[in-house]
Structure 1
Amino acid sequence: MRNVRVFDGVSGQAQDGMDVLVEGSHIVGVSSSPVAGSDGAFEVDGQGRFLMPGLSDAHVHLMGNANSMVEFLQGPTGALYGNTIAEAKRMLLRGFTTVRDMGGDTAPVKSLIDRGVFEGPRIFPSQAMISQTSGHADFAFVYDTPEEFGGKPSRTEDIHFTRVADGVPRVLAAVREQLRQGASQIKLTLGGGAASMYDPLNTLQYTPDEIKAAVQAASDYGTYVATHVYTPAGIARAIDAGVASIEHGHLADEETVKRIADAGVWLSMQPFAEADHHYPDPVRAAKNTEICEGTNQVYEWARKYAVKTAWGTDLLLEPQSAPRQSEMAARLGEFYSNAEALKMLTSGNAALFELAGERNTYRGGKLGVIAEGGWADMILVDGDPLQDISLIGDPDTNFKMIIKGGAVVKNDL
Structure 2
Amino acid sequence: MGGYASWCFCDKDRALYVNRRISADLSRRGFVAGMAASMLSLVLPKIAGAQSASPPPPPAAPIVFTNFRLFDGQSAALRDGLTLTVEGDRVGRIERGQAAAAPASTDGRQVVDCGGRVMMPGLIDMHWHALLAALPIEAVLQGDFGYVYIAASAEAERTLLRGFTTIRDAGGPAFALKQAIDSDVISGPRVYPSGAMITTTGGHGDFRPLSDIPKAGGQISTIEKEGGAVIADTADEVRLRAREQLMQGASQVKIIGGGGVSTPRAPLDMVTFSEPQLRAAVETAGDWGTYVLVHAYTPESIQRSVSAGVQCIEHGHLMDDRTAALLAKSGTWLSIQPFYEGAIVPRPSPVREKQLEIIDATDGAYRLAKKHGVKTAFGSDLLFSQVLATRQGAMLAQLKRWYSAGEALTMATGGNGRLLALSDRRNPYPGKLGVLEEGAYADLLLVNGNPLENLELIADPAKSLSVVMKGGRFYKNTLAA
Please classify the TM superposition score into its range, dividing by the shorter chain length: over 0.9
Equivalents in 2 of 1:321, 1:125: separation in Å?
Answer: 22
**Which of 67, 71, 74 is 1:3 aligned to?**
67
- Secondary structure of the corresponding residue to residue 187 of structure 1: strand
Farther off after superposition, 369-378 or 74-83: 74-83
Residue deviations 1:354-408, cap 9 Å, x none?
0000111211x21011110011000000000011111000000000111000000
1:22 aligns with 2:22: no
Q: Which residue of 2 aligns with 1:316?
A: 383
Q: What residue in structure 2 maps to residue 377 of structure 1?
A: 443
| 1:192 maps to 2:256 | no
Structure 1 unmatched ranges of 5 or more: none
Q: Shift of residue 151 of structure 1?
A: 5.7
Q: How many residues align?
A: 411
Counterpart-to-counterpart distance in 2, 1:73 and 1:387: 42
Matched, 1:43 2:144: no
SS at structure 2 position matched to 1:65: coil
Structure 2 counterpart of 1:130, which letter?
I
The separation in 2 between residues aligned to 1:201 and 1:264, in whole angstroms, is 25
Q: State yes or no: 1:224 paired with 2:291.
A: yes
When the two structures are superposed, what TM-score results if normalisation uses the length of structure 1?
A: 0.97
Equivalent of residue 190 in structure 2, options 102, 122, 137: 122
**Bigger mean CA offset, 36-45 vs 7-16:** 36-45
Could you list the per-position Cα deviations for residues 171-204 of structure 1 after superposition, in whole angstroms to 9, with x for gaps in the alignment?
A: 1110000001110000001111111111111101
- 2:178·2:190 contact (CA, 8 Å) conserved in 1? yes
Give the superposition deviation at 1:74: 2.4
Q: Judge conservation of contact 1:29–1:35 (CA < 8 Å) in 2.
A: no
1:33 aligns with 2:97: yes
Aligned counterparts of 1:368 and 1:102: Cα–Cα separation in 2: 18
Moved more, 297-306 or 3-12: 297-306
The farther-off stretch of 224-233 and 137-146 is: 137-146
Q: Is the 8 A contact 1:326 1:394 kept in 2?
A: yes
1:245–1:268: 8 Å Cα contact kept in structure 2? yes
Say yes or no: does 1:101 pair with 2:161. Answer: no
Greater than 4 Å deviation, 4+ residue runs: 35-38
Q: 1:34 to 1:146 in 2, by over 3 A?
A: farther
Other structure's SS at 1:383 match:
coil
Equivalent residue number for residue 113 of structure 1: 181
Aligned-partner Cα distance in 2 for 1:38–1:210: 63
Match of 1:330 in 2: 397
Question: How far, CA to CA, are the matches of 1:38 and 1:5 in structure 2?
Answer: 25
Which residue type is aligned with residue 339 of structure 1?
G
CA distance in 2, matches of 1:72, 1:109: 15
- Please say if residues 71 and 79 of structure 2, whose CA atoms lie closer than 8 Å, have aligned partners that are also in contact: yes
Within-5 A mapping of 1:82-101: 82-101=150-169
TM score, norm. by length of structure 2: 0.84
Tell me the distance in 1 between the aligned counterparts of 2:106 and 2:428: 28
Looking at structure 2, the residues matched to 328 and 81 of structure 1 have their Cα atoms a distance apart, in angstroms, of: 24
Contact 2:99 2:111 (8 Å CA) reproduced: no
For 1:17 and 1:311, the matched residues in 2 are separated by 30
**1:68-100 alpha-carbon deviations (Å, 9 max, x no partner):** 222122222211111111111000000000110
| Counterpart Cα distance in 1 of 2:237 and 2:213 | 17
Q: Distance in 2 between matches of 1:67 and 1:39?
A: 48
C-alpha root-mean-square deviation of aligned residues, in Å? 1.3
CA distance 1:146–1:121, shift in 2 (3 Å): farther
Task: Indicate the residue corresponding to 1:406 in structure 2.
Answer: 472
Query: 1:117-156 residue pairs with structure 2 within 5 A?
Result: 117-147=185-215, 149-150=216-217, 152-156=219-223
CA contact (8 A) 1:330 1:389 kept: yes
- 1:240-319 superposed matches below 5 A: 240-319=307-386
Say if 1:145 and 1:151, in contact at 8 Å, map to a contact too: no
3-state SS, counterpart of residue 403 of structure 1:
strand
Q: Distance in 2 between the 1:136 and 1:150 partners?
A: 23
Give the counterpart of 1:368 among 423, 434, 452: 434
| Structure 1 contact 21–35 (Cα < 8 Å) conserved | no
Q: How far 1:12 moved relative to its partner?
A: 1.3
